[in-house]
Amino acid sequence: MNTSTRNLLLAALLCAGHAMPAQAQFARTDEAVKYRQGAWFVLNHHFTRIGQMARGRLPFDARLAVQDAEVVAVLARLPLSAFAAGTDLPTDHARPEIWTESARFREHGERLVVESSRLLAAARTQDLAQIKAAFGPAANTCKECHDAYRSQ
């Protein structure tokens, strides 16, 4: 793992370890929105690269797959803390159902954490077939949540 990836993971772990409700963690509502959007953006970048390797669109690089899966597994834990009452801004892509169906939404988030951990375990085997097998359920978790709770 290179130094920048290690530093990113360390920072994310520290954030995850100190996760508080959004009202306590963020001084302003827009900060909560930016935080979760930033986490999703970075997670998506690394997750997409794993998917491109799994689909043969990028050459398989076992080391890179592990690094990407480590980032995904850490970042999957972060955004939920930034979905609190009052953080439903018009600039966000979140549907109102996130707040009216918060228990169901959190279940989606928890499934993402589980599937991301499974993807990391598969990446650590450095076996592309295992990565492909774990990538599908993780991607499906993303799709199900987007279908239910993302407006765009």
Task: Give which of 105, 111, 85, 112 is closest to 150, Cα–Cα.
Answer: 105
Query: Could you give the CA distance from residue 135 to residue 62 in angstroms, rounded to a whole number?
Result: 14
Cβ–Cβ < 8 Å for 79, 109: yes
Query: Could you give the CA distance from residue 70 to residue 45 in angstroms, rounded to a whole number?
Result: 13
User: For residue range 23-44, what is the model confidence (pLDDT) as tens digits?
Assistant: 457 888 889 999 999 999 999 9
Q: What pLDDT band is residue 2 in, cutting at 50, 70 and 90?
A: low
Q: How far is CA 116 from CA 22, 60, 67, 74, 76, in A?
A: 23, 19, 13, 8, 7
Is the model more confident about 13 or about 77?
77
- Left (φ > 0), alpha (ψ -120 to 50) or beta: where does 56 sit? left
Residue ranges making up the domain that contains 8 = 3-149
Return the residue matching tokens 């076996």: 127
**Structural domain total, the chain:** 1
DSSP one-letter string for 78-131:
SGGGG--TT---TTS-B-THHHHTHHHHHHHHHHHHHHHHHHHHHHHTT-HHHH
Query: Could you give the CA distance from residue 29 to residue 36 in angstroms, rounded to a whole number?
Result: 11
Highest-confidence segment of 23-27, 102-106, 114-118: 114-118
Query: What's the whole-model pTM score?
Result: 0.82
What's the mean pLDDT when you consider all of the chain?
87
Residue type, 29: T
16-25, 106-115, 141-150: lowest mean pLDDT where?
A: 16-25
Is the model more confident about 8 or about 61?
61
- Which CATH number covers residue 97? 1.20.120.10
8-17, 35-44, 124-133, 142-151: lowest mean pLDDT where?
A: 8-17
